[in-house]
Amino acid sequence: MAMHRPTVAQFAYGSCTVVFSTFAMLLLSRTGSVVGIALVAVAALALGLLVAMTVPLSRPRPAAARRPAPPEPVRATVPSPVHEPVRERAAS
């Protein structure tokens, strides 16, 4: 069974969630014991994992979008000669 490879967005959201939720829970709980800090850390890791796993994954594009458009035929055109009236200088 192939394992899922996390995307950059999942790493970013999960890491930010762990850092900010740990900081918030430590400030709100005002715990100083080792057991309290360990519980806050485990809860923050679980929350970060939950957030990282719920980030929508990018879906592969449909096969039709991946194929390049067929090239347009090259048309050889010859410019038509421009006929301008010939102006002669007036004798001075």
Give the global pTM.
0.54
Q: Mind listing the pLDDT tens digit for each residue in 34-90? A: 898 899 899 998 888 888 888 776 666 565 555 677 777 777 676 667 777 767 777
Contact call for residues 13 and 52 (beta carbons, < 8 A): yes
Better pLDDT: 9 or 27: 27
Structure tokens of 57? 């994954």
Calculate the CA 87 to chain-centre distance. 64
Calculate the CA 83 to chain-centre distance. 56
